[in-house]
Structure 1
């Protein structure tokens, strides 16, 4: 990542301060990049590449229990062994080759939001969820949220950080961003109180305003609100006429941007942070939150170095890793998985993992 982009990353951390005084945030460096998705493709190879932050032992077979044994995390708070991931962004040249777009990690926000925020509960052990729909290739006005009827597609947004402020957009409309393109995603904050995970994500729901509001009666338990910011150095890639930016699942529109969360928090620490008002105070730094400060570290990349790739997924590559094909839509592209590589739900070949690395097939 360029020096300009690194310095800007520090600057944009404060953007949400203007909109809300109720949150804490933490920086996360990259932990690994690969076709790994233990939420949707547990024990299998994911059809597309993700950029992952968090626990150092993240693998296709990760669970809450295994994350607890990680030596470290690439996020600031070491009591949080969660894993956070989003699709990798590439630039596709006219000859179809692709270049990974520079990115140094993400910023994860924990926000005290909602009309019932005083009743927020910590994520329980084993909880996981996905926000966004990787199959989308265009903006959809339906489905909508409970009561406010806001398009759920508004969970995804993009901010072009140019010389002059640009309005946020639901698609990758403007990628000529001298200071980077920031992808953003809001997560569901309403829980049914029973299921730790459902494949269709029906165990969780969005608040009426997505990032605020009320929960539907079917999902009455309020969770702390998760929000990801991922900054890409789009102008650090040498672009050519006819080229385009593409997410790793083949999405050239941005509509299919998505985020995954696998909880790995020390439940007592997160509970103490919530009950201590760390997500509902005017000072939004980890330093003002005693339960979080106890395990905070700096120099993230040195404290918890990035793991090597299991296959060629970075730099200049000839095609998208996996079996994704590039599409601008507007029709959705079904996720059929990769033949012979454990397509979602088919129960076939599983990955054998040794020391957190894919080493063989079973």
Structure 2
């Protein structure tokens, strides 16, 4: 359904507004088997053809190589739990490069969260209009920002620095980044306000509680809706909007100053992406703490400085305005907001095919000689164009998703990462002192913080026909009538249980009892828990490695007296004797 211009303009119209001194936020969760799609697709930077590198994309299935401005609204499904959100969200994919063979393996996108922050401001916050396009970050960077490891998203605090890497760890005795790192020799730079994050890749194994290596991307929230002249073509823009493509018109978007947008500009929610990559699967194949690391972004960046994100708005603006005005659901999820409308069934999945058919390594166990698009792996401190190809790789010229057009402004001497779709900051001076970390900010790597453990953990499980009879501490205890403990199994190359992965049992509510109840209610005869906060369902197990029960010793999030698996270790329960089948050595996790 399309929305008329008067309807949207009415939703965006300014009125007498006193502002707010308190921040509210709600996390948009996703569900299903992997992201919506993965591939060399980017309808903003490379419309109509392949993009320079692979992206992981979430959101509405109206996503295409070349998107009309209102096309997202025509999506028939979305990977967002909230059906009213048919927007698209994407970031570059991540690969592991074997240090001996120099070959590449795709890293599974563990899950993604998108925070919608309504920051303290004197402005009225309004929804994104359908078709609004945002890009942040600079894919050409291989050097650290002049501001160092701190993240800055308000012009009042200095030059903007919108991206970071977060690395929760089970052991934080050693620093995340070397204290003397200059960010140019194999490892990034520490955030002085947070021991768990920084800019550029760390050289440590990120094995925190259900929280592997995480990419953080923050978008600007000020939009010049009054003067943006872009996208007035009547074919592309039949409604006559003047404000739909900020990639073409970079002066249409900027950052707030002390929480407020320039006079006459619209103030949008602040988008904040969290993208978790399942790097612990490769932990045995490299040695941390050596000032080098094996992960590389899909554009050939081994530094992590080129992290970037894209967004195309596809919201029902009335619903999003309701979220802005009335919802402070926080980590519990936007799906908990009042008047949010219909939700998707998390036992289903919304996916589309890779629109650039090629081998991107999406099948577990696939090894690639070169990154898709033949992107050569660059070097720390060396511009992207001067990158050196990996040994044995055949390198062909490819479009560089630079994220900036000729003449685009930069800040801080060109070293600060600058949004390709954002007006240049009015100041390039760094703050006199680093601002204190905000305890209300979403978790940024502090292992003591409470974290959202799953993209799909959002709502209470439905009641089950299986009645719970015990919640005792032992992993081998009975959790429901007719169910028994099968054992602890390694969950590495293929999921032990793949009927439903990352089941929606409830935020911080996973227990063996609830997982069994959830799976039984959906007709499955087997259930398993992992990482203390994940639930899986199935009717049979792959032939996998059985572990000692001590490997499945993480306390359950919903009841610390129970143990719910461990790191890459699944506590399995069954309603009857377990059935085995041949290992799914190449279980398809993503739709190609």
Residue 68 (str. 1) matches residue 68 (str. 2): no
Question: Secondary structure in 2 aligned to 1:125?
Answer: coil
Structure 1 residues 150 and 31 mapped into 2: Cα distance closer, same or farther (>3 Å)? same
Q: Which moved more, 1:174-183 or 1:246-255?
A: 174-183
How many residue pairs get matched? 317
Bigger Rg over Cα:
2
Residue 263 (str. 1) matches residue 309 (str. 2): no
> How far off is 1:251 after superposition?
1.1
Structure 1 residues 121 and 21 mapped into 2: Cα distance closer, same or farther (>3 Å)? closer
> How far off is 1:297 after superposition?
2.1
Residue 106 (str. 1) matches residue 112 (str. 2): yes
Unaligned runs of 5+ in 2: 1-21, 173-194, 229-242, 387-395, 406-590
Residue of structure 2 in register with 1:163 after alignment: 170
* Correspondences of 1:226-245 after superposition (within 5 Å): 226-237=271-282, 238-240=284-286, 244-245=294-295
Highest RCO, 1 vs 2 (Cα 8 Å, sep ≥ 6): 1
Write out per-residue CA displacement over residues 206-252 of structure 1, whole angstroms, 9 at most, x where no aligned residue. 2347xxx23345x7321111000011111112524676100001111
Structure 1 residues 334 and 80 mapped into 2: Cα distance closer, same or farther (>3 Å)? farther
Instruction: Choose the corresponding residue for 1:50, options 43, 50, 55.
Output: 55
Contact 1:64 1:264 in 2 (8 A): no
> How far off is 1:56 after superposition?
1.8
Question: Secondary structure in 1 aligned to 2:323?
Answer: helix
Unaligned runs of 5+ in 1: 1-19, 346-356
Residue of structure 1 in register with 2:27 after alignment: 25
Whole-angstrom CA distance in 2 between matches of 1:324 and 1:50: 13
Structure 1 residues 236 and 222 mapped into 2: Cα distance closer, same or farther (>3 Å)? same
Structure 1 residues 112 and 159 mapped into 2: Cα distance closer, same or farther (>3 Å)? same
Structure 1 residues 243 and 255 mapped into 2: Cα distance closer, same or farther (>3 Å)? closer
TM-score normalised by L of structure 2: 0.49
Q: CA RMSD in A?
A: 3.1
Residue of structure 2 in register with 1:304 after alignment: 350
Question: Secondary structure in 1 aligned to 2:375?
Answer: coil
> How far off is 1:343 after superposition?
8.3
Structure 1 residues 334 and 203 mapped into 2: Cα distance closer, same or farther (>3 Å)? farther
Structure 1 residues 60 and 204 mapped into 2: Cα distance closer, same or farther (>3 Å)? same
Whole-angstrom CA distance in 2 between matches of 1:100 and 1:283: 29
Whole-angstrom CA distance in 1 between matches of 2:398 and 2:304: 28
Residue of structure 1 in register with 2:252 after alignment: 203
TM-score normalised by L of structure 1: 0.78
Residue of structure 1 in register with 2:455 after alignment: none
Contact 2:59 2:88 in 1 (8 A): yes
Q: Which moved more, 1:260-269 or 1:30-39?
A: 260-269
Instruction: Choose the corresponding residue for 2:270, options 219, 225, 231.
Output: 225
Q: Which moved more, 1:324-333 or 1:182-191?
A: 324-333
> How far off is 1:290 after superposition?
2.3
Question: Secondary structure in 2 aligned to 1:169?
Answer: strand
> How far off is 1:325 after superposition?
1.7
Question: Secondary structure in 2 aligned to 1:316?
Answer: coil
Question: Secondary structure in 1 aligned to 2:339?
Answer: helix
Whole-angstrom CA distance in 2 between matches of 1:283 and 1:53: 19
Residue 249 (str. 1) matches residue 299 (str. 2): yes
Whole-angstrom CA distance in 2 between matches of 1:27 and 1:103: 14
